[in-house]
Amino acid sequence: MPGLEDLYREIILDHYRNPRNKGELPTPPAHRTEGMNPLCGDEISVFLVLDGVGESAIVTDIKIGGQGCSISQSSASMMSSAVKGKTVAQARELLKAFKAMMSIHETGLDGAEVVDEEPSTVKLGDLEALRGVVKFPVRIKCATLAWNTMAQGIDEIVSGAGA
């Protein structure tokens, strides 16, 4: 559907040219996590501020820094907009839905694929524009870099490792 592909391309370019939540936050109180894709050189820094404890903590602020291709940077921008104001549990649900859209399958310690029996009902909004990335498997890591970095930051904060 050419019209939809054009719209998606415009959404990606808009987030690349006009990134949301770009910048840095003072650490502390923010927690900084860095991610890199060594295959292409994309780099991302995610600054997170959570209010509360555990899965009910709210992402009160998030800023994104770094450099990379239009896919990694627009995905970071869309991710930051999508999770800001959400609880940690909701951010994890968005991550799960986004990775499902990217066709990333997790494997357990035994090497077996972990299959989620319940498909996600989470609405991805602008993130749907990145659906076409799955046609180019080498670019999936670009699209998921910010998400994985955010998840690592959340895990560090929730576990107390980010204190």
Which tokens is 23 given? Answer: 């910048």
Domain that holds residue 63: 2-159
Spell out the per-residue pLDDT of the chain, length 163, in tens: 556 677 778 888 889 899 999 999 999 999 999 999 988 899 999 999 999 999 999 999 999 999 999 999 999 999 999 999 999 999 999 999 999 998 755 444 555 555 554 555 777 878 888 888 888 888 899 999 999 999 999 999 998 865 5
Please state the domain count of the chain.
Answer: 1
Residue 84 sits in a domain of what CATH number? 3.90.1010.10
Structure pTM?
A: 0.84
Count other C-beta atoms under 10 Å from residue 42's C-beta. 23
